[in-house]
Amino acid sequence: MKLLGIGFIIGLGKILPGISGSVLAIRLGIYEKVIHSLVTFFQDVKKNIEYLGVLGCGFVIAILLGSKVLLYFFLKYELFFKCLFAIFILSGLPELIRKSNSWKITFLFFLLGSILFILPKGEVPISYIGMGVLESLSTIIPGLSGTAIYLSLGWYEEILHLFGEFYTYPVSQLFSFLLGLVVGGIGILKGMQFFLTHYERETYSAIVGFFLSSFFFLF
Phi, psi (deg, nearest 5) at residue 91: -65, -20
- Measured CA to CA, the distance from residue 115 to residue 176 in angstroms comes to 28
Number of domains present in the structure of the chain = 2
**Which has the closest alpha carbon to 27: 99, 78, 75?**
99
pLDDT, tens digit (0-9, with 9 covering 90-100), for 144-173: 767 667 777 777 777 767 766 667 778 888
Residue with the bigger pLDDT between 162 and 55: it is 55
| Domain encompassing residue 113 | 98-219
Q: Same domain for 121 and 200?
A: yes
Average pLDDT, whole number, for the chain? 82
Structure confidence at residue 198 as a pLDDT band (50, 70, 90): very high
Q: Same domain for 109 and 217?
A: yes
pLDDT at 201: 93
Indicate the residue among 61, 91, 121 that finishes a domain. 91
Q: Same domain for 63 and 123?
A: no
pLDDT, tens digit (0-9, with 9 covering 90-100), for 16-41: 666 777 878 888 889 989 999 999 98
pTM of the shown model: 0.78
User: Residue 201: which H helix or E strand, with range?
Assistant: helix 200-213
Q: Same domain for 10 and 83?
A: yes
pLDDT at 188: 93
pLDDT, tens digit (0-9, with 9 covering 90-100), for 93-114: 888 888 899 999 999 999 988 8
Structure confidence at residue 203 as a pLDDT band (50, 70, 90): very high
**Which has the closest alpha carbon to 59: 13, 1, 125, 106?**
13
